[in-house]
A and B are shown apart, each in its own frame.
Chain A
Amino acid sequence: MVGIYLAILGAALAVGLAGTGSALGIGIAGQAAAGVVAEDPEKFGKVLLLQALPGTQGIYGFLAGFLVMSKIGMLAGNVIAIDVSAGLQIFAACLPIALAGLSSGIYQGKVSAAGIFLTAKRPEESGKGLILSAMVETYAVLGLLATFLLLNGIQV
């Protein structure tokens, strides 16, 4: 039972922390976006795009959580009785996306907000703001990749 508990805890952290990172990031960017749209409603489409960028961390976290759930058989309705060590392994494997998602989500939100201000001043350069924001996402991607490869290698 403890093994299953640990696995679920890992999934919960992956979803929760990465989701928190995205929520905070999109929130920060959204405040900047509302300010820009108040001045110039024409820019809505561009700033929406920039605001949406930090959203991927939450999705990656959800993905990791889902993979854990499918690994322990929860989705099929038939939970495997995994032992404590396997549970701990799964828990540890969830940490990369949990932590990378949390931190990169917040900071990507900050860069997105700065990109939104860039778009306010120079609307034709919004593409550059998009790229600057995407640079931060590299680490969330690597976190997901690590989690995925680790989960893949664990035997239950």
Chain B
Amino acid sequence: MAVARMTKAQVVIHGAESDEVVREIYNLGLIQAIEVLEQEEPFCLSSFAGKGAQQIGKLDPQLREVTHALDILAQYDESGREIIENFVTLKERVSRDEMLRVRKEFDAPEISRQIQECAAALKHLKEQERWLKDDIALLSTLEPLPFPIQELRSTSLVKNVVGQIRKENVEALLQELERREDELFWEEIAVEGQFVYFLIMFSNAPAAGNGHVQEAVPTILEQHGFDSIDLSSYSLTTADELQRLSQELVGIQERVRNAKEELRGFVRHSVSFKIIEEYLQNEIERCKDLQNFAGTQKVFFVEGWMKQSDKPALERGLHHFQDATEILYEDADEDDAAVPVILENASYIQPFEIITRMFGVPKYNEADPTPMLAPFFFLVVGLCLTDAGYGIMLSLFMMWLMKKYVLDAGTIQLARLLFYGGLSTIVCGALTGGWFGTILDELPTALSFITELKKAFTVLDPMKKPIEFLVLALILGYIQVGYGIFLKMKHRIHKGDLSGALLDEGIWLIFINSLFFWMIFSVTGFGKLLIGQGIIATCQGFAALSGAIRIWMHDRGNSNVVMRLLSGVFSLYDIVGVFSDVLSYSRLLALGLATSVIAMIIDMLALMTSGVPGIGILIGLVIFCFGHVFNLVINTLGAFIHSGRLQFVEFFSKFFEAGGKKYKPFKFKSRYFEITD
């Protein structure tokens, strides 16, 4: 129920067996490697560091190749993604033997080379396809040409130009051409989109007196933005050329299809590629960690953090090598900030670790706040989502999710947390009379016993008695805030600062509690009774006494009496902090109401539309289903976030510092697979 006790394990291995022993330690996965910071004379890190770096240098390009192949295959993978994969990572089950077999037998470099060749060929083919399509489009536009293309060769006397010009520039060009009407022939071939296509013929012969037409015309054409088209590669008639090109296109498209098929064929290797990819990733990590270990020529030295409770497991695992190894332990010092933190909790508390981790892992010398926040969080989520119907839906959905899919450890914990939230909501919903809104109030008289049953469970309906619900929420907040201060006191006593803890936190707790009870008793009219007056007087007395002690004791170290008293008086202002923390819990009323009122609105809409003759019932049912699912999603999100926020800001701030280091073990990590034995 706490932060696991850690120890520094030092394994000294006789050189000859060092590789195998390190491999065994890796398989056991119990140790986090420590960086060896000091280099002492007998240890030379350089050769091992060098070997590690070399190995990483070899593995990195292999990893890149495999990742590249996986990316290509992902484009041709036709197996649909489940919708849930957008939110969660699903894992595949693979047996350990299968993984080893794939690593030994699968020729990743060869197959990824084939895949890349195929992909490159496909790219080339697609380019060709594009060019062909462009050519076909062009020739189709030029179909109205009056002569076959082959005859459009320029002769010695006549030059032919076919080209395109933008519509806007046609007028200007024609005007220009008309001035030289006697020397030119032009005809409009076609209009396609923005362009107009022309055939222009003019004299090619450099004879005197023709005004240098063969130079003038191209200049004119260029000036007006006339682009000539090169048709020299075509020799047949337009129709024949089109046919030829179309046949070529069909051929290319066939080859494109084949290439895609081939690539699709490689998709079956995706799983093997993933196994290899993860193997390479882990090997690279392992080499990096290896660089932290040290050795001489005869001896290899592994140093790492592990749980004290894992000592027997480590010794058992290395039993085989016990002649070649020696294990030394050094238990971690309480205040060492470098010790990584592992949280250990009972399995029903573990889902709440998500909340703690979101904020930050506790320091090694701090208590794990998870079991303390668990009951409050459990309760607060239920109060925010006050609808038993939603609780049932949420819990059932989480159970189904965990059964149907293989999830990674973190997601399973989240699903369990949501499951607990659902359970809490069922209880709170039943107590506040929320079962899918107020639909149960509208049942026909035959089923009215259900309504009676629901009323029997209802203790406090926030819609009818909001102020009472608010007071309940505030009291819950006060209890949690008080508990937080109490935990701080406990922590300080544990550290040995008994007097400080009692004088600061202890007195403060007495002060605020005496004020609290004074207020409670006065407001509830207890004061009318004699015993009530006595109790109230006692509370007042305690308040005055503890207030005075606080004023005097708050700034104990100060020798200046006036300053000491002043800062003590100012410290009483902290009561405002307590107020604001408690008031923050009023959001429980707001959130609880939000869920209930929207559920009620959906019920009303569903009932109203089901009055419509014919399809009314159907519409009503659709509104009911979608509306409540929407409300569930939105309010579950809000409930969890606000509950978490209350823990972080109002509860943790009283006693919890966080800032511990995460635990990163020297072991094989898989993102895609769950390995079965």
Distance between Cα atoms of A60 and B601 in the complex (Å): 13
- Flag whether B308 is at the interface (Cβ < 8 A): no
Distance between Cα atoms of A152 and B604 in the complex (Å): 21
B604 A75 Cβ-Cβ under 8 A = yes
Contacts known (A44-B86, A141-B587); A59 close to B634, Cβ less than 8 A: yes
Distance between Cα atoms of A149 and B358 in the complex (Å): 34
A148 B86 Cβ-Cβ under 8 A = no
- Flag whether B598 is at the interface (Cβ < 8 A): yes
Contacts known (A45-B86, A131-B648, A138-B587); A67 close to B597, Cβ less than 8 A: yes
Q: Is the interface of A mostly helix, strand, loop or mixed?
A: helix
Binds B, one of A8-16, A24-32, A48-56, A79-87: A48-56
Distance between Cα atoms of A31 and B645 in the complex (Å): 26
- Flag whether B536 is at the interface (Cβ < 8 A): no
Q: Inside 8 A of B357's CB, which chain A residues have their CB? A: 127
- Flag whether B139 is at the interface (Cβ < 8 A): no
User: Counting chain A CB atoms within 10 Å of each CB, which of B467, B587, B648 scores highest?
Assistant: B587
Q: Which residues of B561-616 have CB atoms within 8 Å of chain A's CB atoms?
A: 584, 586-587, 589-591, 593-594, 597-598, 601, 604
| B contacts with A, residue count (CB < 8 A) | 30
Q: When each residue 42-73 of chain A gets 1 if its CB lies under 8 Å from chain B and 0 otherwise, what string results?
A: 00110011001101100110110011000000
Partner of A148, one of B88, B584, B590, B644: B590
A63 B594 Cβ-Cβ under 8 A = yes
B634 A148 Cβ-Cβ under 8 A = no
Contacts known (A135-B645, A138-B584, A148-B466); A49 close to B637, Cβ less than 8 A: yes
Partner of B601, one of A55, A56, A66: A66
Q: Give min CB distance, B408 to chain A, whole Å.
A: 12
Distance between Cα atoms of A121 and B642 in the complex (Å): 25
Contacts known (A141-B591, A145-B587); A63 close to B644, Cβ less than 8 A: no
Contacts known (A45-B88, A63-B597, A66-B601); A134 close to B586, Cβ less than 8 A: no
A130 B590 Cβ-Cβ under 8 A = no
- Flag whether B87 is at the interface (Cβ < 8 A): yes
Q: Give min CB distance, A11 to chain B, whole Å.
A: 14
Q: Inside 8 A of B591's CB, which chain A residues have their CB? A: 141
A134 B641 Cβ-Cβ under 8 A = yes
- Flag whether B638 is at the interface (Cβ < 8 A): yes
Q: When each residue 127-139 of chain A gets 1 if its CB lies under 8 Å from chain B and 0 otherwise, what string results?
A: 1101100110110
Q: Inside 8 A of B648's CB, which chain A residues have their CB? A: 131
Q: Inside 8 A of B358's CB, which chain A residues have their CB? A: 127-128, 130-131
Counting chain A residues whose Cβ lies within 8 A of the other chain, the interface size class is 20 to 34
B86 A131 Cβ-Cβ under 8 A = no
Distance between Cα atoms of A49 and B594 in the complex (Å): 19
Q: Inside 8 A of B593's CB, which chain A residues have their CB? A: 63, 148
- Flag whether A144 is at the interface (Cβ < 8 A): yes
Q: Give min CB distance, B524 to chain A, whole Å.
A: 20
Q: Inside 8 A of A62's CB, which chain B residues have their CB? A: 598
Q: Inside 8 A of A48's CB, which chain B residues have their CB? A: 86-87
Contacts known (A56-B634, A152-B466); A134 close to B598, Cβ less than 8 A: no
Closest to B354 in A: A127
B597 A145 Cβ-Cβ under 8 A = no
Q: Inside 8 A of A59's CB, which chain B residues have their CB? A: 594, 598, 634
Partner of A131, one of B467, B638, B641: B641
Q: Which residues of B631-648 have CB atoms within 8 Å of chain A's CB atoms?
A: 634, 637-638, 641-642, 644-645, 648
B594 A131 Cβ-Cβ under 8 A = no
Distance between Cα atoms of A128 and B361 in the complex (Å): 13
Distance between Cα atoms of A52 and B598 in the complex (Å): 17
Closest to A133 in B: B641
A131 B645 Cβ-Cβ under 8 A = yes
B587 A63 Cβ-Cβ under 8 A = no
Contacts known (A45-B86, A45-B88); A134 close to B642, Cβ less than 8 A: yes
B466 A53 Cβ-Cβ under 8 A = no
Q: Inside 8 A of B649's CB, which chain A residues have their CB? A: 135
Q: Inside 8 A of B87's CB, which chain A residues have their CB? A: 44-45, 48
Q: Which residues of A106-156 have CB atoms within 8 Å of chain B's CB atoms?
A: 127-128, 130-131, 134-135, 137-138, 141-142, 144-145, 148-149, 152
Other A-B pairs beyond A44-B86, A131-B358, 11, CB < 8 Å: A44-B87, A52-B634, A60-B594, A63-B593, A127-B358, A131-B641, A135-B645, A135-B649, A138-B587, A145-B587, A148-B466
Interface residues of A (CB under 8 A from B): 44-45, 48-49, 52-53, 55-56, 59-60, 62-63, 66-67, 75, 127-128, 130-131, 134-135, 137-138, 141-142, 144-145, 148-149, 152
